[in-house]
Amino acid sequence: MAYPVISSPYGLKPVNEFGGLVYAGSTRMYPIATGYSTNLFNGDTVKLSNGTIVIDNYSAASSPTSAIAGTIGVFLGCQYVNSLSQTVQSQYWPASTVSNNALAYVVDDPRTVFKAAVTGQGTSLANTANTTIGYVNPAFVGTNMYTLTGNSGSTVNGNSYLALTGGAVSNGTGNTRVTAAAPWRVVGVVPETAVVVTATASTSGSSTTLTLAASNSSILAGMQVIASGTGAAQGNYITVTNVNGTTLTVSSAITVASGTSCTFIGFPEVLVTWNGNFHSMNNTTGV
C-alpha cells in the first residue's frame, strides 16, 4: 500500500488550474448571513442565495445530472467578528454564529482543478454517509463523477467529509465510469496514494469474467487489473466493473491462464474540475 494512506474523505482541495497553471491560493470573499444555521466545512461546495453563501448539497442520489443554480465554488474557511469584537479566522463556519461582518473564502474560479478522495457506491446511487474509500483508475479520466455531501464534516479540524463517486455496481461496492452529466470531470488520478492488491485468477478462454482462486475483500469495482495473457497488459487499462464473491466482471474480454498472479491497482484520489453549467459562473442567468 502506498503512503500516505487515504483513510477517509477530506473535501475538495485546490491544486492547480485547468491546463496546468499553478494555483496561487486565490480566493474571493463572499458574505455569510448572520446566524446562518448550517456548518460550512473547508472543502464544501457552496452557492449564493440572496447574495450570501450557503451550503450547496449536490447529491449523487437526488437529481445527479441537474445543475444547482447559484453554485459558485468551494469553501476554504471564513472570518467573522465574535461577541468580544475580535476578528476570528476559522477553518469552518460554526452553525448559527452571530456576526454582521462574516465573510467566506471561496475558490470561485471554474477552471480550478481539485483533489478529492473517492468513495464507492452500492447497487444504486446514494448520497451516502459511508466514508469507506473506493477506487478508480486512469480509465476514468475524461468521465464524470458525482458529489457525496452526506457526510458533513469535522468540528475538530474544520475539514469537510465531502467525497466523489462514480456510478453504481450490480453487486458489492465500488465505482463504474459515468458518461452522463455530473458536476465533476476527471482530469487525472493521484499515483502517490495508489493501492496495489495481488490475487490468483483466471478466465475461461477470452472472457469478461475473471474468476479468483479465493475471494478478496480488498478488490473493488473501479480497480485496474494487470495480468500476463491476452488483453490485460498494463497499458490496456482493463477495469473491474463488478465484484460478486470470487467472480469479477471486467470492462473488456481478456485471456488469463489458470493460476496466474494478477495485480489490481486502485487510486483512492482523483483530480477533477467543474463540468460546464454545474458552476453557475458559466451561466448567463443570475441567481
CATH class of 195-266: mainly beta
CA distance 80 to 28: 15
Please report the pLDDT score of residue 129 as a whole number: 61
Please report the pLDDT score of residue 175 as a whole number: 95
The CA-to-CA distance between both ends of the chain, in Å, stands at 46
Q: Average per-residue pLDDT in the chain?
A: 93
Q: Is the bond leading into 4 cis (omega within 30 degrees of zero)?
A: yes
Environment class of 111 (CB within 10 Å of its CB; exposed 0-12, middle 13-18, buried 19+): middle
| Residues linked to residue 16 through DSSP beta bridges, in sequence order | 22, 113
Provide block-wise average pLDDT over 10 residues at a time, the chain (287 residues): 81 92 90 97 96 90 86 97 93 96 96 95 81 93 92 92 94 94 96 97 97 97 96 96 97 97 98 94 81
- Residues 30-42 have pLDDT tens digits of 999 999 999 999 9
Please report the pLDDT score of residue 212 as a whole number: 98
C-alpha distance from residue 152 to each of 16, 102, 124, 184, 220 (Å): 25, 21, 21, 19, 25
DSSP state of 3: S
Residue 169 contacts residue 239 (beta carbons within 8 Å):
no
Please report the pLDDT score of residue 151 as a whole number: 75
Please report the pLDDT score of residue 130 as a whole number: 64
Please report the pLDDT score of residue 12 as a whole number: 97
Please report the pLDDT score of residue 53 as a whole number: 97
DSSP state of 153: B
Please report the pLDDT score of residue 60 as a whole number: 84
Residue 144 contacts residue 100 (beta carbons within 8 Å):
no
Please report the pLDDT score of residue 219 as a whole number: 97
Q: Where are the domains of the chain?
A: 1-194+267-287, 195-266
Please report the pLDDT score of residue 2 as a whole number: 62
